[in-house]
Structure 1
Amino acid sequence: MTSRTALIVRGGWDGHHPVQTTEMFLPFLRDNGFEVRIEESPRVYADADAMTRVDLVVQTVTMGEADPDSIAGLSRAVAAGTGLAGWHGGIVDSYRQDSAYLHLVGGQFAAHPKKDPGERGDEATDAFVEHRIEITDLGRTHEITRGIGDFTLVTEQYWVLHDDLNDVLATTTHPVRVDEPWHRPVVSPAVWTRQWGRGRVFVATPGHDPAVLAEPNVRAIVERGLLWASRHASV
């Protein structure tokens, strides 16, 4: 099998378990012919020579900061064909201060609404709500989600701000809640792809912790998404 290089950049908020969650996918990547490089800082993105040899970036940094040279380096690499993939806050709640990063990824975490007040009791899980991940018409035929039906999760339900360049493979609907200011259900993308120059971007918003990533549908979507996004895509 032809060797490919996957660069995992991980860090940020520990509550999303950046080390444990990325370790879950190391055997899969290696079994699919990737040599894996792990970095604890996005500064590697500014190394143009290193990035030309990267076929897939797995971005797993919740919040955190990256300097403009690093973001510019990542964007250039993706436009030149490097794949970019990630899940949950590790990709859509990263580098909030940098609009160029948000432009590249195509979605930004805005909220994960909580249970109704009478159902709350544990701050750590008050935002764990039951919700459906619904496959779109495009998702039913796309290689990342083909054969996967709608499914239910009990975890954070991400509301993301997004744009029309995304090809949305799955959505989730936020209901009206008694203590929230919106007045009709809101549909938010949950899985999407995005073409950026010659590169591919894959995002899955489920993935708060290892238990969510171990859910069979989520795991299958992420694994397929990693392969799809890679410069030498093969699913």
Structure 2
Amino acid sequence: MQRALIVHGGWEGHDPAECAAIYRRWLHEAGFTVRVETGTEVFADPAIHELSLIVPIISHATIGKEEALNLCRAVEGGVGLAGHHGGMTDAFRDCIEYQFMTGGQFVAHPGNIIDYTVDILATDDPIMAGLKSFAYRSEQYYMHVDPSNEVLATTTFSGDHGAPWIEGVVMPVVWKRRHGLGRVFHSTLGHSVKEFEIPEMATIMQRGLLWAAREDV
């Protein structure tokens, strides 16, 4: 049986506990045994190397050096990593080892909550199968991203909202990548738990979790 670990905490504005409950339900429905923790200490546990999937939901916050290194080694050894929005890529800002693994780091969201479009690129990828580009209302994340990411969806910045110099910038929204033997999946969507009610967002995340855990999607 596949085993997953969900770790939530950090800034409460991203609804970490509520998002963790949704992930837990999805993974249970997919046949996983799921453990939920609320502190980064679990990342230092050697047992995480035996997991199928780790889901971090810990915006901002900090992580101990040994915790971070053990987490990175687990993924390098084949454990999947998947998550959304700031819970994964605005976590542990001072830990470059973690950022190297996730493939991206949040740096801005001009205009805060705005309307924008998510453009689906990889329509032949199982995670994106059957999906079309869609309108979205949330924070439009401006990221620093790894060029080795396999980008599945993007968004284009208008240059409004006080940042005219980024007009026309095409930014990854959803990507997957490898870190050693591990599969890493990320979507920048999901500022609030209400966004999990949006069909396209939920479908992308559900499929991304399974892909990272080496399950059929």
The answer for the alignment partner of 1:103 in structure 2 is 100
Uncovered stretches (5+) of structure 1, i.e. residues with no partner: 115-126
Contact in 2 for aligned 1:206/1:213 (Cα 8 Å):
no
The answer for the alignment partner of 1:185 in structure 2 is 168
1:170 aligns with 2:153: yes
1:140-172 CA-to-partner distances (Å, cap 9, x unmatched) read: 111111111000111111011002110000001
1:94 aligns with 2:91: yes
The answer for the alignment partner of 1:51 in structure 2 is 48
Secondary structure at the aligned position of 1:69 is classed as helix
The answer for the alignment partner of 2:3 in structure 1 is 5
Secondary structure at the aligned position of 2:160 is classed as coil
The answer for the alignment partner of 2:205 in structure 1 is 222
The answer for the alignment partner of 2:113 in structure 1 is 128
The answer for the alignment partner of 1:117 in structure 2 is none
1:27 aligns with 2:25: yes
Aligned-pair distance for 1:214?
A: 1.4
User: Of 77, 81, 84, which aligns to 1:84?
Assistant: 81
CA distance in 2, matches of 1:234, 1:112: 33
Identity %: 39
The TM-score, its normalising length taken from structure 1, stands at 0.90
The answer for the alignment partner of 2:58 in structure 1 is 61
The TM-score, its normalising length taken from structure 2, stands at 0.97
1:233 aligns with 2:196: no
CA distance in 1, matches of 2:162, 2:69: 40
CA distance in 2, matches of 1:102, 1:27: 27
The letter for the 2-side match of 1:186 is: V
1:58-111 CA-to-partner distances (Å, cap 9, x unmatched) read: 110000000111111111101111000000000010000011111000100010
Secondary structure at the aligned position of 1:103 is classed as helix
- Over 3 Å counting, the alpha-carbon distance change for 1:178 and 1:151 in structure 2 is closer
Aligned-pair distance for 1:211?
A: 1.4
CA RMSD of aligned residues (A): 1.1
Paired residues in the alignment total: 217
Aligned-pair distance for 1:178?
A: 6.0
- Over 3 Å counting, the alpha-carbon distance change for 1:51 and 1:19 in structure 2 is same
Larger radius of gyration: 1
Uncovered stretches (5+) of structure 2, i.e. residues with no partner: none
The letter for the 2-side match of 1:37 is: R
The letter for the 2-side match of 1:59 is: P
The answer for the alignment partner of 1:118 in structure 2 is none
1:159-197 CA-to-partner distances (Å, cap 9, x unmatched) read: 110021100000011111263251532111000001111
Aligned-pair distance for 1:27?
A: 1.9
Moved segments of 4+, more than 3 Å: none
The letter for the 2-side match of 1:22 is: A
